[in-house]
Amino acid sequence: MTRSTIVVPETGPPDVLRALELPLVDLTGSEVRVLTSLVGVNFWDVMQRRGDVPLPADRVPGVEGVGVVTAVGPDADPSLMGSRVAWSKVPSSYSSVVQGPQASFITVPDDVTDEAAAGALMQGVTAQYLATDTTSLGAGQWAVVTAAAGGVGGLLTQYLVARGVEVIAVVGSAAKRDAARLTGADRVLVDSASLVDDVRAIAAEGVDAVFDAAGGHVARLFGMLRPRGICVLYGAAGSPIAPIEPGALAAGSFYLTRTAGRDYAATAGEWTARALDVMSRVADGSLVVRVGDTLPLASAAEAHRRLEDRMTTGKVLLSTR
């Protein structure tokens, strides 16, 4: 038996991606096998394709999706058979069939759609730890969220708003204003050369935190902060992050952190707790996953192009149906 996959034969631009049938591998231990319905597309996958982060041995990118359990290993829970599950840490997810340790999957509530489940966890878990662990923001405090119309940005804004934070959402173009407004942000700004002044016109003393996904403009981000504010970097969708002199922090006794998901979901238990929090909020409607484009698995290259060119609003999915 085989599985339909997308592989990266050599690192490079989106056009290097190729469709390929690969054999299924026998299940061992607590592994489960899942028939994939939808795959979540993330910037991590782009970094795998570029060669910035490692690929698994089969050179199939991706880590996220939703599907139905069709087989379980000898040490896995047999009651999982037929369960609808979601994941965001399973390698080789650009595939019609995935498999991994049972602890890498959570069951999906009946009232959560495949689309929401496939798009919730990778970006939702990131948003969850950014909002709850990197800062202690609460009611009456201000935050700037860049790329607020994107997957993480939109979910992060919703998490912060739920905590009572006043959020200034920043988007890359006027066309993305409406998407950012749907997150509950108090104000929406279009990124421009005057962004620091625009933020200061709203929060004259500066904001308590800036959450930035683009990178490359950290000095500008400091200009938005109040004294003792924090700049949280969590992505690299834009330019590489330039070296930062520690002395630059003295301009306002600023704090700076660059997060990595591995440190906030270091164990299966920690990831599961965060993933369940995300999924429960999706189920009760307090966290809305906004899906942008859904393309066939064979169109993975086009999905990568749209993501890299910042042409997307919301989550990008690949369908294996």
The per-residue pLDDT for range 260-296, each reduced to its tens digit, is 999 999 999 999 999 999 999 999 999 999 998 999 9
Average pLDDT, the chain: 95
d(CA 186, CA 208): 15
pLDDT reported for residue 236: 63
Instruction: Say what the pTM is.
Output: 0.92
Are 203 and 143 a contacting pair, CB within 8 Å? no
pLDDT at 156 over 60: yes
Q: CATH assignment of 135-258, given 3.30.450.20, 3.30.2450.30, 3.40.50.720, 3.40.1170.20?
A: 3.40.50.720
Question: 2-122+266-319 maps to which CATH number?
Answer: 3.90.180.10
Per-residue pLDDT reduced to its tens digit, 45-65: 999 999 999 999 999 999 999
pLDDT at 132 over 70: yes
Are 66 and 108 a contacting pair, CB within 8 Å? yes
pLDDT reported for residue 239: 57
d(CA 108, CA 285): 14
H or E element at residue 114: helix 114-132
Residue 264: other Cβ atoms inside 10 A:
19
The mean pLDDT of 231-257, rounded to a whole number, is: 84
Q: Domain-by-domain residue ranges, the chain?
A: 2-122+266-319, 135-258
Contacts of 89 (CB under 8 A, 6+ apart): 63, 100, 104, 265, 271
**Beta strands 291-296 and 315-319, pairing class:** parallel
Residue 111: other Cβ atoms inside 10 A:
10
pLDDT at 237 over 70: no
User: Which amino acid is present at 37?
Assistant: S
Residue 37: other Cβ atoms inside 10 A:
20
pLDDT at 240 over 80: no
Query: For the packed helices 151-162 and 114-132, what is the interaxial angle rounded to 10 degrees?
Result: 60
Contacts of 107 (CB under 8 A, 6+ apart): 80, 83, 84, 85
Confidence of residue 244 (pLDDT cuts 50, 70, 90): confident
pLDDT reported for residue 25: 95
H or E element at residue 283: helix 268-284
